[in-house]
């Protein structure tokens, strides 16, 4: 073998050329075009199956590519979307939905009732609201190509609300061959009937996701309202750029390289406000609610007094201030149903006016018979809100003499460990902090954190038969007013047995260039229809 300098340099040059000559996207050519919008979303689009995962970003993808039978409007009321006509039988047990004209999958085939039946079944296996509907369903079938019949065993007032839900997984309609996929396996199809098509050729997973306007989409005639109404697309292309670094995303927005930044960190808002080319808009008006889950299976929180002590221990303002700084964007609140939702109320909230009251918390811990057991607080250091809150909670617990300790880990480890029902010395836990979308907190059926059915329920496993009876009554209520009355009773019971502790709510504005118009603020989804650039 004869190696010379020239051959080495030649080889290196050839390698460099080969590296650059690999196939590449051409989407960036349109970076400044008025019909192309570059957006930085809340995270990477890891899965293209919005039923398989509950990740919000996958629901955003779903809202681009797929459509729903019903959608919530600006007042959170369900309105027909893919459905043209519908009716409910006099005995309130049989729904008949007729698909509107012109609905077509993006491969050119018509949307049929059979596609929708399969889609509802798959969604119903993964969504709590869907499970509630299917559990009461006697028959779900396609009467003909355009008509779906849903026959219930008993009247159930939440059918349309569930079908229209903005909570993940949303009830997106998919072609039958995709919808018949096991709900615990991902679909491979990328074909929907929504206002955008997914451009797989230009997409680079982990880096950039490209959506094109679908010219054959037929929007409803009504004006857009929430997720309902006419989904009229003004842009030719939407590109989601996955910029992981917040400072870089901010600089790119300032330089006009991107048009929309969904979740700029709140501590950078002063910089954004100072930029005359940038404006802010709260996209999710119901925001998020912080939740503290207590492990009700083991000491000390298997004793209700210890759980009640936590109500008095927590200083919501301090928790929110530690993570969100600007009081304009956070709201302390005592309601089990979050802040400002349709079900929020003030029943049995005297403790909130008194909290924080460390002496009272100490007294309640003492009354619980606390014997110095270790209290393990899971601390996901990769999520600022959870990390900050966990540290404050441990500090307060230690102040009142509780043997509390932080277990630092990643959020990925928290989601594994919180599933353990063992005591904390065998890999279990006592406290973890998380949050929920505010919109979800208004629905105790779809929001599993609002259940109290013991080991069948959510992490922490609180159990209370009276509360569960009320929760079932809520599901059967015919009107919102009736639901609100039951919600008050549920909360009155809840703050006695304390299934969890609320940590307050917050909203986070999106930042966008001033030439971007028409974003509709709705919970849990970012719609790109109705958006334009000037």
Partner 1 sequence: MGVYIAGRLASTFVVMAIVGLIVFLLLHLAPGSPAAIIAGDNATPAQITAINHQLGLDRPLPVQFLVWAGQVLRGNFGTSIFSGEPVMRLILQRLPATLSLSLVTIAFAGTIAVIGGVLAAWRAGGVLDRILMGVAALGFSVPVFVVGYLLIYLFAITLHWLPVQGYMPLRRGFWPWFSHLILPALSLGLAYLALIARITRASVLEVLAEDYMRTARAKGATPASQLFHHALRNAGVPIATVIGIGVALLISGVVLTETVFNIPGVGRLTVDAITNRDYPIIQGIMVIFAGAYVVVNLLVDLSYSLIDPRIRR
Are the beta carbons of 246 and 268 closer than 8 angstroms? yes
Residue nearer to partner 1 on the CB measure, 249 or 512: 249
DSSP sequence for 36-52: EEEEE-SS----S-TTT
Stretch that binds partner 1, among 47-55, 61-69, 316-324, 345-353 (CB under 8 A): 47-55
Encoded one letter per residue, x for contact with partner 1 by CB under 8 A and - for no contact, window 298-337 reads ----------------------------------------
Are the beta carbons of 519 and 510 closer than 8 angstroms? yes
Residues in CB range of 274: below 8 A, 6 or more apart: none
The helix (run of H) or strand (run of E) holding residue 375 is strand 375-380
Exposure of 406 in the CB half-sphere (CA atoms within 13 A): 17
- Residue 223 within binding range of partner 1, rule CB under 8 A: no
- Residue 281 within binding range of partner 1, rule CB under 8 A: no
Least distance in Å: CB of 248 to partner 1?
Answer: 5
To the nearest 10°, report the CA torsion of 30, 32, 35, 36. Answer: 60
Radius of gyration, alpha carbons of the chain: 25
- According to DSSP, the residues that pair with 99 across neighbouring strands are 83
Residue nearer to partner 1 on the CB measure, 4 or 426: 4
- Residue 471 within binding range of partner 1, rule CB under 8 A: no
Neighbours of 179 (CB within 10 A): 23
Query: Of residues 257, 405, 463, 496, which one binds partner 1 by CB under 8 A?
Result: 257
Residue nearer to partner 1 on the CB measure, 4 or 534: 4
DSSP, res 110 = B
- Residue 502 within binding range of partner 1, rule CB under 8 A: no
My answer on whether omega of the bond before 401 falls inside 30° of 0, hence cis, is no
Residue nearer to partner 1 on the CB measure, 84 or 256: 256
Are the beta carbons of 212 and 196 closer than 8 angstroms? yes
Residue nearer to partner 1 on the CB measure, 3 or 481: 3
Residue nearer to partner 1 on the CB measure, 355 or 450: 450
Q: Could you tell me the two tokens for 262?
A: 């969904």
Q: Which of 245, 437, 198 is nearest to 261 (CA)?
A: 245
Q: Count interface residues toward partner 1 (CB under 8 A).
A: 70
List C-alpha distances in Å: 528 to 33, 221, 225, 252, 482.
Answer: 16, 18, 13, 20, 35
Question: For residue 392, which phi and psi values (nearest 5 degrees)?
Answer: -65, -45
First-last CA distance in the chain: 63
Least distance in Å: CB of 481 to partner 1?
Answer: 27
Site for partner 1 in 363-382 (CB under 8 A): 382
Query: Of residues 109, 416, 472, 515, which one binds partner 1 by CB under 8 A?
Result: 416
- Residue 282 within binding range of partner 1, rule CB under 8 A: no
- Residue 273 within binding range of partner 1, rule CB under 8 A: no
Encoded one letter per residue, x for contact with partner 1 by CB under 8 A and - for no contact, window 60-99 reads ----------------------------------------
Stretch that binds partner 1, among 43-51, 307-315, 324-332, 524-532 (CB under 8 A): 43-51
Neighbours of 510 (CB within 10 A): 23
- Residue 53 within binding range of partner 1, rule CB under 8 A: yes
Site for partner 1 in 197-216 (CB under 8 A): 204-208
Query: Of residues 248, 281, 472, 515, which one binds partner 1 by CB under 8 A?
Result: 248
Specify the 3-state DSSP secondary structure of 101: coil
- Residue 359 within binding range of partner 1, rule CB under 8 A: no
Stretch that binds partner 1, among 24-32, 370-378, 481-489, 523-531 (CB under 8 A): 24-32
Residue nearer to partner 1 on the CB measure, 19 or 481: 19
Least distance in Å: CB of 22 to partner 1?
Answer: 4
- Residue 449 within binding range of partner 1, rule CB under 8 A: yes
Q: Could you tell me the two tokens for 14?
A: 């050839």
- According to DSSP, the residues that pair with 279 across neighbouring strands are 512
Q: Which of 513, 37, 34 is nearest to 278 (CA)?
A: 513
Query: Of residues 106, 316, 345, 434, which one binds partner 1 by CB under 8 A?
Result: 434
To the nearest 10°, report the CA torsion of 380, 352, 289, 375. Answer: 20
- Residue 8 within binding range of partner 1, rule CB under 8 A: yes
- Residue 1 within binding range of partner 1, rule CB under 8 A: yes
Residue nearer to partner 1 on the CB measure, 405 or 413: 413
- Residue 274 within binding range of partner 1, rule CB under 8 A: no
My answer on whether omega of the bond before 513 falls inside 30° of 0, hence cis, is no
Exposure of 216 in the CB half-sphere (CA atoms within 13 A): 14
DSSP sequence for 158-178: THHHHHT--SSSP-EE--HHH
Give the C-alpha separation, 467 to 464, whole Å: 5
- Residue 55 within binding range of partner 1, rule CB under 8 A: yes
- Residue 244 within binding range of partner 1, rule CB under 8 A: yes
Are the beta carbons of 58 and 168 closer than 8 angstroms? yes
Query: Of residues 12, 14, 135, 350, which one binds partner 1 by CB under 8 A?
Result: 12
Encoded one letter per residue, x for contact with partner 1 by CB under 8 A and - for no contact, window 161-180 reads -------x------------
Give the C-alpha separation, 514 to 303, whole Å: 54
Query: Of residues 178, 241, 315, 443, which one binds partner 1 by CB under 8 A?
Result: 241
- Residue 252 within binding range of partner 1, rule CB under 8 A: yes
Chain residues binding partner 1 by CB under 8 A are 1, 3-5, 8, 12, 15-17, 19-22, 24, 26, 28-29, 44, 46-48, 52-55, 126, 128, 168, 182, 184-186, 188, 204-208, 241-245, 247-249, 251-252, 254-255, 257, 382, 409-410, 412-413, 415-417, 419, 434, 436, 440, 447-449, 456-459
């Amino acid at each position: 073998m004869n190696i010379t300098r020239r051959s080495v340099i030649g080889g290196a040059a050839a390698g460099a050329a080969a590296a650059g000559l690999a196939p590449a996207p051409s989407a960036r050519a349109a970076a400044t075009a008025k019909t192309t919008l570059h957006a930085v979303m809340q995270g990477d689009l890891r899965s293209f199956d919005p039923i398989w995962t509950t990740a919000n970003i996958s629901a955003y993808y779903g809202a681009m590519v797929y459509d729903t039978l019903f959608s919530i409007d600006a007042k959170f009321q369900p309105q027909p979307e893919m459905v043209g006509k519908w009716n409910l039988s006099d005995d309130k047990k049989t729904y008949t939905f007729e698909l509107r004209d012109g609905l077509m999958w993006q491969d050119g085939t018509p949307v049929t009732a059979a596609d929708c039946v399969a889609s509802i079944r798959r969604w119903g296996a993964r969504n709590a609201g869907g499970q509630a509907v299917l559990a009461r369903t006697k028959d779900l079938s396609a009467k003909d190509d355009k008509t779906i019949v849903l026959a219930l065993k008993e009247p159930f007032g939440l059918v349309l609300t569930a079908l229209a839900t903005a909570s993940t997984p949303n009830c997106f309609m998919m072609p039958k061959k995709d919808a018949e996929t096991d709900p615990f396996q991902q679909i491979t199809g990328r074909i929907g009937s929504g206002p955008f098509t997914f451009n797989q050729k230009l997409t680079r997973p982990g880096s950039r996701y490209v959506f094109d306007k679908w010219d054959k989409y037929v929007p409803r005639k009504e004006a857009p309202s929430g997720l309902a109404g006419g989904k009229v697309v003004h842009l030719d292309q939407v590109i989601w750029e996955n910029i992981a670094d917040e400072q870089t995303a901010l600089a790119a927005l300032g330089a006009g390289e991107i048009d929309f930044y969904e979740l700029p960190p709140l501590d950078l808002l002063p910089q954004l406000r100072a930029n005359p080319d940038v404006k802010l808009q709260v996209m999710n008006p119901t925001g998020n609610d912080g939740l503290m889950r207590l492990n009700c299976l083991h000491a000390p929180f298997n004793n209700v007094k210890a759980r009640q002590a936590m109500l008095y221990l927590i200083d919501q303002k301090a928790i929110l201030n530690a993570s969100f700084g600007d009081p304009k964007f956070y709201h302390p609140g005592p309601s089990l149903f979050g802040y400002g939702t349709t079900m929020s109320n003030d029943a049995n909230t005297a403790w909130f006016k008194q909290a924080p009251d460390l002496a009272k918390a100490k007294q309640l811990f003492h009354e619980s018979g606390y014997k110095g057991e270790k209290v393990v607080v899971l601390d996901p250091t990769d999520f600022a809100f959870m990390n900050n809150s966990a540290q404050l909670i441990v500090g307060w617990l230690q102040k009142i003499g509780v043997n509390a300790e932080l277990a630092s880990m990643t959020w990925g480890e928290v989601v594994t460990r919180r599933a353990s029902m063992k005591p904390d010395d065998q890999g279990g836990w006592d406290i973890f902090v998380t949050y929920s979308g505010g919109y979800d907190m208004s629905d105790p059926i779809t929001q599993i954190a609002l259940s109290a059915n013991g080991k069948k329920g959510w992490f922490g496993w609180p159990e209370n038969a009276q509360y569960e009876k009320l929760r079932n009554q809520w599901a059967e209520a015919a009107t919102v007013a009736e639901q609100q009355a039951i919600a008050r009773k549920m909360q009155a019971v809840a703050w006695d047995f304390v299934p969890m502790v609320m940590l307050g709510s917050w909203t986070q504005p999106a930042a966008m260039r001033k030439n971007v118009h028409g974003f509709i603020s709705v919970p849990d989804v970012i719609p790109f229809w109705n958006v334009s650039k000037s």
